[in-house]
Amino acid sequence: MGNENNLNEFETRKQDHIDICLQDEVDVSQSGLDQIQLVHEALPEIDFSEVSTQSKILQKTVGSPIFVSSMTAGHKNSLLLNKIFASACVQKNWFFAVGSQRRQLTDKNANEEWKEIIRDFPLLKVISNIGVTQLINCSVEQLEELVEVTNALGLIVHLNPLQEVLQKEGTPQFRGAFDKILEVSSSLSVPVIVKETGCGFSLKTLQKLTKTRVQAVDVSGFGGTHWGRVEGERLKKETSSSAKMAYDASQVFSNWGESTLSSLMAGLSLNPKYKLWASGGVRSGLDIAKYLSMGAQAVGLARPFLIKAMKGEGDLLNFMEQLEYELKVAMFCTGSSNIEELVGKWKWTNKG
């Protein structure tokens, strides 16, 4: 009965997250990218048809450096949503970073969702995903199982201290997290990617991660969906004194975090061995082009894709095409026929 209650609680929490993430109240919409301008080239000396977004990420060639960032998994509605994401990503040859696989650690039936998706979309390029508080108590063998069931090309370890401390079912036990990342990044059979979930990274933390063997850091900074706000929305309907305290705190911390822009700049200043990915508040192909020009290897979106996927695969694919087209326009207007040529073609503006 206890396990059944836990699963029901998990289902409710995940459905809450989907419902709330569709609300504008949880979207910060303050990327700071108005401070960055791409350098216009009036004589590109290329044809637009020559512009290619093809990239190499995690040693794999993909159609674009844009990827579908981690969202949802392991509840009754996630199979349909993830099939929509999977189908679109296969058609575009984009990476698909899956939602947290936490449920698979205690409920082997949860594997069936991914087995079905991989069976239906064998060409899908997947990145697995687990929270760092779960990672701490996982063996490498357990993590290999998560990777194997999704046929993944990498494993994301997501960091979410603000969300965990505010969430009523949260697990804010982070002691030993760095040592575990150090261990797993050295022993797992696939590359390890560390990411935040909307609150970004300080220079100190990014510097600490240079001591590990992680292959990428997705800075996922303040600017888009804010999980402190999401958990605050969930707490509105709670009546206990502890929930009231957490809700009040969620309002105080509603603008907490390092921006994606500042996090990326901090990472680039270190010239680390790991690659830097950017997500958090990305809303257009121009945003994507700016981060790529600054030195990000890949750029992810989540909430905008979720909104489109809820309307159907056609809407999602149209949006993906729009983003790619806007990225190509930015590349053409900077005289860049490929992503490598785009790098460095940016400058600060006087805005902001």
Q: What is the pLDDT of residues 79-138, one digit of tens each?
A: 999 999 999 999 999 999 999 999 999 998 889 999 999 999 999 999 999 999 999 999
Report phi then psi at 232, rounded to 5.
Answer: -60, -40
Find the domain containing 273 and state its range: 2-348
Going through the chain in order, the beta strands assigned E by DSSP cover 36-38, 55-57, 60-62, 66-68, 95-97, 125-131, 155-159, 192-196, 216-218, 275-279, 298-301, 346-348
Report phi then psi at 196, rounded to 5.
Answer: -90, 180
By percentage, how much of the chain surpasses pLDDT 70? 95
**pLDDT tens sequence across 216-228:** 999 999 999 999 9
Domain of 143: which CATH number?
A: 3.20.20.70
Residue length, the chain?
Answer: 352
Report phi then psi at 336, rounded to 5.
Answer: -115, 115
- Confidence (pLDDT) at 285: 98
- The predicted model scores a pTM of 0.95
Q: Domain tally for the chain?
A: 1
